Structure 1
């Protein structure tokens, strides 16, 4: 399923890919290469992040996912302009002056 931006939501036109800073739990069936993942202290396999908190799969030059066609299932289910996207975006806009938080939800 490919997410399509809602033209009625202007935030999508200037998306900062804040979802690419969320913790992404990887399932074995996702078949993500090991060099793109890490283990949490709780033993979960997650997408690794760079020093600034971005998912290591993001292409920073183009601000897009470098493994888009093979991205984890949870990323496939994250709908652009959906309720969760808008909540994450709102939190990002509220905290911009302090920087983007590395973990939005516990």
Structure 2
């Protein structure tokens, strides 16, 4: 993923040829430890994760959008 030191097995090429974090079938990031809900590559996480710190306003907005979508679709 560019200059990021992300393990290649946690990435996937998107339809535009860029590299992004791989997501599991349910939409969760492949680097997330589901038991602790913590990033397993926190010390070498990609730039996009640095730009959206947990608890930051942008992060909270995105989480709200996903939560609202999941609740309205019955996926929650």
Q: Give the TM-score band, short-chain normalised.
A: 0.7 to 0.9
Q: CA RMSD in A?
A: 1.7
**TM-score (norm. length: structure 1):** 0.61
Could you list the structure 1 runs, at least 4 aligned residues long, displaced by more than 6 angstroms after superposition: none
Write the distance in 2 (CA, Å) between the matches of 1:93 and 1:34. Answer: 29
Q: Provide structure 1 residue ranges, at least 5 long, that are not aligned to the other structure.
A: 1-25, 101-106
Bigger RCO (CA 8 Å, 6+ sep): 1
Q: Provide structure 2 residue ranges, at least 5 long, that are not aligned to the other structure.
A: none
Write the distance in 1 (CA, Å) between the matches of 2:67 and 2:25. Answer: 21
User: Residue 27 of structure 2 is aligned with which of 53, 64, 68?
Assistant: 53
User: How much has 1:39 moved relative to structure 2?
Assistant: 0.3
